[in-house]
Amino acid sequence: GQVGRGKVAGKSGKVAAKRHRKQAAPADRISKPALRRLARRGGVKRLSDLVYKEMTGIVKNYLTKIVQLAINYAAHCKRKTVYTADVLCALKSVGIKLVGYN
C-alpha cells in the first residue's frame, strides 16, 4: 500500500462512499439499544417489542423530572450552568443517593 506518503496533492482527501451512514436519532427519542442496555442492567434477559414504547415514556418522564429539578437548583444559585452537584441534589430529592461524584 501507500504508507507514509504525507500530504500529497490530488487524491489524498478522497475516501470511498460509506455503505451504511450512521442515522442520527431524534433528540426526543431513546434508542432501542439504549433501552435494552438499561433493561440488561436491571437483570432482564429478553424484551418484548411492545415494551420499548412503554419504557420510553417512563424513562423520558423520569429524566425530565431529574433534569428539571437540577435546572431549578442551578437557577436558585443564579447560575445558567448545571453542575454535577445540582444533579446529585435532584437525585437525592427523588430518593436516590449517589456517592463519589463530588
**Length of the chain (residues):** 102
Count: domains in the chain: 1
* 3-class DSSP state of 102: coil
pLDDT at 13: 62
pLDDT at 19: 79
pLDDT at 14: 67
CATH assignment at residue 76? 1.10.20.10
Q: Is residue 99 part of a domain?
A: no
pLDDT at 1: 59
pLDDT at 7: 62
pLDDT at 69: 97
pLDDT at 18: 75
Burial zone of 70 (CB within 10 Å; 0-12 exposed, 13-18 middle, 19+ buried) = buried
Instruction: Cell numbers for 59, please give them.
Output: 424513562
Q: Is residue 80 part of a domain?
A: yes
Q: Is residue 1 part of a domain?
A: no
Mean pLDDT by 10 residues, the chain (102 residues): 62 69 74 95 95 93 96 97 96 90 74
User: Cβ contacts of residue 58 below 8 Å, gap of 6+?
Assistant: none
